[in-house]
Structure 1
Amino acid sequence: MFIFKILKNIVIFLIKQIAKICLFFVILGVIILGIFNYLSPKKEVAEIRNNSYLQLDLSRKYNENGVNPLEYFNPGGIDFYQLLKSIDKAKIDPRIKGIFINVDESILNRAQIEEIGEKLKEFRKTSKKVYIYGANLDNKNYILSVYGDKIIMPPSASSTVNLTGYFMETPYFKKLSDLVGVKFNVIHVGDYKSYGENYVKDKMSKEYKENISRILDKVYENFIKTVSIERKIDEKTLNERILNGKLMVATPKDLLKYNMIDKLQYLEDFIKEKGKDNFVSVDDYVKEGLVRKGENYKEKIGIIYLEGEIHYKDNGSGFKDKITPESFEEKFNRALEDKDIKGIILRINSPGGSALASDIIYNQIKNSPKPVYISIGKVAASGGYYISSGGSKIFADKESLTGSIGVVSLIPNVEELVKKLDINLESLQKGKYASIYSLTSKFTEEDREKLYRSNELVYKEFLNRVSTSRNIKMEDLEKIAQGKVWLGEEAVKIGLIDKIGGLEDTIKEMGKDLKLSKYSVKEMKTQESINNILNSYMGPMMTVQDILSLKINKKIEKNDLYFKPLMYYPYEI
């Protein structure tokens, strides 16, 4: 046994060292590449000729978190707000003849598609044209395509079309958990609070199915209406074709026949037709625009981006987007201390997370001496909505996800797995409930009741915050709470938000309310130091070491997403 123990320790040591070395070279490579980019001669701003086409690349991410750590060494990337402003500028720029968008591999979320779609509709009111190209079209990129003057696909049978109703599947792990011996005790407050149910149930709950089906039906209904209006196709006929499967695994010729696209043409032929040198990337256009016409009025509106899960502390888990009270306070205080900033807009994209962190951030917003408006992007649900409710006015896109007012706790337990591995764990305990957070002790009904009562207090606090901030009677709020999730267009009708609109609509409303005739927008981006960036890279390395050192229990205990009350809705629609 002693020999085996030595061999085991040697293997673990070697794996740890290999992991360290690999990660070290990854870090070193990134730093060297970054320094090289930083020191290399900067590309001159491209000259934009007359009759140019602004080219939008939607296969890349346009950040809404106010920071991209990799840009520390190579600044210049544009964010989503700058993307919107580039379309505004192109609309009045005499050199720009039109916009060209390749929608293949688009990673825009629904809220961003809505906001860009509205911009394209404004752009088309001029004599300028919007050309859309897609070799493969589905519901997500086609809904953006219909905002173009011309939709083009290649004349190829291998080009795919998949337009349908919807399909969503969610794995349920209860039987697997029982088999392995890893269980989750999930404590919900709110009948519709569904997070974690797939760990303790073997099928979808009636409440979750009802909630998610309503949302999916509404999104599909919006899709049919938008396509029908923009392409001038009878709504009933379009719906029948889609639900009958005529547009699934279809071809560009099918879409052309049904007036859903305008032309069959290869991409290279289209570019040749318009002139290869007449296309200007949005990056070059933004750089050139800022150099030539950088408006900088004294009075300003500040934008703070809040994207990702909400955590009480930053646990150093790499570059994963996250929101913490500390990171929020740093940006918020800078905006408050800037005398030129007259109002603050929070652009929120968050499924929620730590209840405590959400409450701390809410309190800072609620007590702000400057007006704070909220712009909900893709999602501000549960803890994300908790934060949002602190704002004076809340805007959201039609298909933004919000609400999910409820609380849940996840308590993992590996007691059965430990028994299967024939491990004997000896414990010492003094005090009732001292083992309530143990991964390996039996979780009793009394433990469950204790945690439920704690979560119930958190839920009531959540309700009180929303009731006060949104001026909704408690009995009315209870009907729309319980963990129910709402689309933006539903939320405005029940008082959870004030208006349907995107980021720019929120900015314009604040400017109008503050009676600012001329103002600039200042984005409060995170001030990353090289030390913070390196620490972010080191996060994953520490996780590997901890797992190999069998420090899993301590890591889980420190994770905000276990044991503690959560306000969380991490599902995609």
Structure 2
Amino acid sequence: MNQQQNEQTPAVEEAKKKNVMQSLQQLGQTNVPTLESNIFCLPVIGQVEGHLVMPPQNKTTKYEHVIPQIVAAEQNPNIEGVVIILNTVGGDVEAGLAIAEMIATMSKPTVSIVLGGGHSIGVPIAVAADISFIAETATMTIHPIRLNGLVIGVPQTFEYLEKMQDRVIRFISKHSKVTEEKLRELMFRTGELARDIGTNVVGRDAVKIGLIDRVGGISDALTELNRLINTKKGELLQ
């Protein structure tokens, strides 16, 4: 019996390794470390992929993976809070807004932290959390939305683009301290970005203009998230 168990052990270990590798390749996640936690970590990295599949060499955050994870975190009673880690160049506007709306409407406490970059449509995702952090060296690019591919040069196209722009601006201003007027001024500023119009804000500048709540690192974000969790527990006990 013991000999049979010993013979099966390498096969079981190999199956576990294979499952970990598949999870890492498909979702960018691994089960290491194995510490059971009451906090769910949601990474938003690379390019936010929407309805069109990006080239295989691009690092992407696929919305069809992220949305079920948010739903699972919301429903799981063992998860008490969510931390969103951003290092993204932006991507699909509607996919990014969908992720941001889901984060904003979660009943559980949420904290976001921008590490490296939280550009373009990454801005709404960052501000969607209850409290947002940014590292001192991290940057955020605020610019108007653009259309890729065939664009029909008729008034309806530009009206659609303007309405989509308004949706992004309203969401950001609603979930941060920056006003719509200031946001539009930052978006349409010329001369700062060499190949685009808009503004690139770094660390403390993002906090100064009211886009992000605080400057800090991962320990600051987790400390704040635990504070929000304890506050929510206290409210439920009353």
TM-score interval, smaller chain:
0.7 to 0.9
TM-score normalised by the chain length of structure 2: 0.74
- SS of 1:315's equivalent? coil
CA, structure 1 residues 461+489, in 2 after alignment: closer, same or farther (shift >3 Å)?
same
- Out of 206, 211, 227, the position equivalent to 1:496 is 211
**Quick check: 1:479 aligned with 2:185?**
yes
Could you tell me which of 135, 139, 147 is aligned with 1:409?
147
User: Judging changes above 3 Å, is the alpha-carbon distance between structure 1 residues 392 and 70 closer, same or farther for their aligned structure 2 residues?
Assistant: closer
Counterparts in 2 of 1:365 and 1:327: CA distance versus 1, 3 Å: same
Q: Give the deviation of 1:355 after TM superposition.
A: 1.0
1:392 is matched with which residue: 127, 130, 134? 130
For structure 2, list consecutive stretches of 5 or more residues without a partner in the other structure: 1-9, 18-22, 189-197, 232-238
The aligned length equals: 205
Superposed CA deviations along residues 349-384 of structure 1, whole A, max 9, x for unmatched, are 111111111121121112111122111111111111
C-alpha distance 71-305 of structure 1, shift in aligned 2 (>3 A): closer
CA RMSD of aligned residues (A): 3.1
When normalised by structure 1's length, the TM-score is 0.33
Tell me the amino acid that sits aligned with residue 161 of structure 2.
N
Query: For 2:45 and 2:229, how far apart are their aligned partners in 1?
Result: 26
User: Partner of 1:310 in structure 2?
Assistant: 48
Distance 1:358 1:475, change over 3 A: same
> Does the 8 Å contact 2:54/2:60 carry over to 1?
no
Is 2:58 the partner of 1:343? no
Alpha carbons 2:140, 2:201 under 8 Å: kept: yes
| Secondary structure, counterpart of 1:351 in structure 2 | strand
Structure 1 alignment gaps of length 5 or more: 1-34, 43-66, 83-289, 412-436, 438-442, 517-573
Whole-Å separation in 1 of the counterparts to 2:27 and 2:177: 43
Q: How does 1:217-366 map to 2 (within 5 A)?
A: 296=36, 300-313=38-51, 315=53, 317-318=55-56, 320-366=58-104
On the 8 A contact 2:84/2:112 being kept in 1, the answer is yes
Equivalences for residues 154-169 of structure 1 within 5 A: none
Structure 1 equivalent of residue 24 of structure 2: 68
Contact 1:313 1:324 in 2 (8 A): no
Matches of 2:156 and 2:203 in 1, distance apart? 35
Q: 1:490 to 1:448 in 2, by over 3 A?
A: farther
**Structure 1 residue runs of 4+, over 6 Å off?**
none
What is the Cα deviation at residue 317 of structure 1? 4.4
Larger radius of gyration: 1
Task: Quote the Cα distance in structure 2 between the aligned partners of 1:338 and 1:324.
Answer: 21
* Seq. identity, %: 18
Task: Indicate which of 505, 529, 539 corresponds to 2:220.
Answer: 505
SS of the residue 1:304 aligns to? strand
Shift of 1:316: 7.2
Q: Is the 8 A contact 1:351 1:379 kept in 2?
A: yes
Q: Does residue 1:454 correspond to 2:160, yes or no?
A: yes
Which residue number in structure 2 is paired with residue 548 of structure 1? Answer: none
